[in-house]
Structure 1
């Protein structure tokens, strides 16, 4: 495995705006967590990339561990799929500055899977500057809604699609069509994504100020855990849906059992992470 190098001269993160800027928000939170001695994630490449980008990170407010826990929640099902399909294709839609590939290959440097990194050209340009190359990584500089990426993916040994921190920024019709297209093209594959609850969608559409200097982009798509589970059978080709819980974290994230968040109305108020299996 390639270990992070000494920080390169800083690059300007100001090329990002709107939804693309959220990749810097999540990067900062993962890197800040990875730097802690009691951090919930080990992510040296996130630290390297974070330190290499000059940006006004303070406008996002105080760092928190949720994005690191979300990254861990995505890593585990991806690793299990690759254990069963060692030559599979992983498609990371709107990958941003995530460093999942290097976390997953930390203990499996010789793994044979192919990793398709899909994002807009400015993001892919920055990834090329700051992250190492690998023969297993295929970079596709395009929108996740540009379906031409479907034709590039080798589906012969299984496909695992991730949409971490993406679907909430899309229109509902686009989300459902994207899931349906993936299910149709990749039978036997899987797709994992996170979503926000309807009450949070409404807040973002009115203008959700995270701090005095930063307003979150509108998030038109929302899905409760129950609605996510109903996708199985509701979209052709989706044969099973699983509600994935966040792994234990630090403080309240480690002491409050997940089952308490699933009692009564709280079940419909919390964010969710869904794992869909395609038939």
Structure 2
């Protein structure tokens, strides 16, 4: 890492794009703790470099840091076996996964495609270090032209971290379907909001503070509905529910598999799903 990054105005991000500042707030706040569940120095750099009223997101918690840990573990597993694979980070936002995986020793030979809208990519370009392995693509994840850029000859791992829930359900499923058709042998990991949570956001009732209401998340799935995509979408040969890593205190308790024995609690929790393409 180099010296301090130039400070920039985070208010250039609006709507769903601004949610990347919410997740950054949670992840960087966790990374700053001596007992934090994630080591993420570049998240701290971004957080400190962006002028923004983070307090409107309320008190930070462990949720997005634990999500990042889960995605890192799945990506590391794949890249350990496919050293020259392509990683496609759809709607990457201000995620800093590449540098965390670099610390895991699995990025030496990969190609990393970073996909997001132009205002987000402009922030990344200003604040994060250049690396020849990273291919920036300033476009919507729904613009399928990114698929034409990806070298799939040595495998593909696609992340949709914090993306699909903000899409129309038909768009979300269509994106999965097209990825399965285009990248046989690859994998895609995504996270889901449960249906009750999705409904609250669509109704405008999920307030993080008196100054911030989360954008609608119209695509909601239970863990079992997500796993059933293996039988619904051609080319998806397997689907796995990925357990949330244990955090501290309440987040450690909530990560216990015992809660999944109670149907209403299993259906009502958020989930991480790993799809394998045939």
What residue number does 1:277 align with?
276
What residue number does 1:169 align with?
166
- Three-state SS of the structure 1 residue aligned to 2:129 is coil
Q: For 1:239-268, what per-residue CA distance to the aligned partner results, in whole angstroms no more than 9, with x for missing partners? A: 000000111111122244522331221010
What residue number does 1:266 align with?
265
Structure 2 residue aligned with 1:29, among 1, 26, 30?
Answer: 26
- Three-state SS of the structure 2 residue aligned to 1:265 is helix
- Three-state SS of the structure 1 residue aligned to 2:132 is coil
Q: For 1:133-179, what per-residue CA distance to the aligned partner results, in whole angstroms no more than 9, with x for missing partners? A: 11110000000000000100000000000000000000000011100
Q: Quick one: distance in 2 between partners of 1:24 and 1:239?
A: 35
- Three-state SS of the structure 2 residue aligned to 1:232 is helix
Q: Give the direction of change, closer, same or farther, for the CA distance of 1:157–1:36 in structure 2 (3 Å limit).
A: same
- Three-state SS of the structure 1 residue aligned to 2:229 is coil
Q: Quick one: distance in 1 between partners of 2:6 and 2:224?
A: 47
Structure 2 residue aligned with 1:244, among 233, 242, 245?
Answer: 242
Structure 1 residue aligned with 2:103, among 94, 103, 106?
Answer: 106
- Three-state SS of the structure 1 residue aligned to 2:136 is strand
Task: Return the TM-score normalized by structure 1.
Answer: 0.97
Note the C-alpha offset of 1:238.
0.2
- Does the alignment pair 1:158 with 2:116? no
- Does the alignment pair 1:89 with 2:86? yes
- Three-state SS of the structure 1 residue aligned to 2:6 is coil
Q: Quick one: distance in 1 between partners of 2:179 and 2:115?
A: 14
What residue number does 1:148 align with?
145
Q: Quick one: distance in 1 between partners of 2:40 and 2:235?
A: 35
Q: Quick one: distance in 2 between partners of 1:271 and 1:45?
A: 26
The unaligned stretches of length 5 or more in structure 2 are none
1:245/1:258 contact within 8 Å kept: no
- Three-state SS of the structure 1 residue aligned to 2:16 is helix
What residue number does 1:188 align with?
185
Q: Quick one: distance in 2 between partners of 1:157 and 1:75?
A: 19
The unaligned stretches of length 5 or more in structure 1 are none
Q: For 1:77-111, what per-residue CA distance to the aligned partner results, in whole angstroms no more than 9, with x for missing partners? A: 10010011000000000000000000000142761
Q: Quick one: distance in 1 between partners of 2:42 and 2:178?
A: 32
Q: Quick one: distance in 2 between partners of 1:17 and 1:229?
A: 32
Q: For 1:176-218, what per-residue CA distance to the aligned partner results, in whole angstroms no more than 9, with x for missing partners? A: 1100000000000000000101101110011021110000000
What residue number does 2:220 align with?
222
2:244/2:255 contact within 8 Å kept: no
Q: CA RMSD in A?
A: 1.0
What residue number does 1:178 align with?
175
- Does the alignment pair 1:198 with 2:157? no
Q: Quick one: distance in 2 between partners of 1:221 and 1:107?
A: 32
2:88/2:112 contact within 8 Å kept: yes
Structure 1 runs of 4+ aligned residues shifted over 4 Å read: none
Q: Quick one: distance in 1 between partners of 2:202 and 2:259?
A: 25
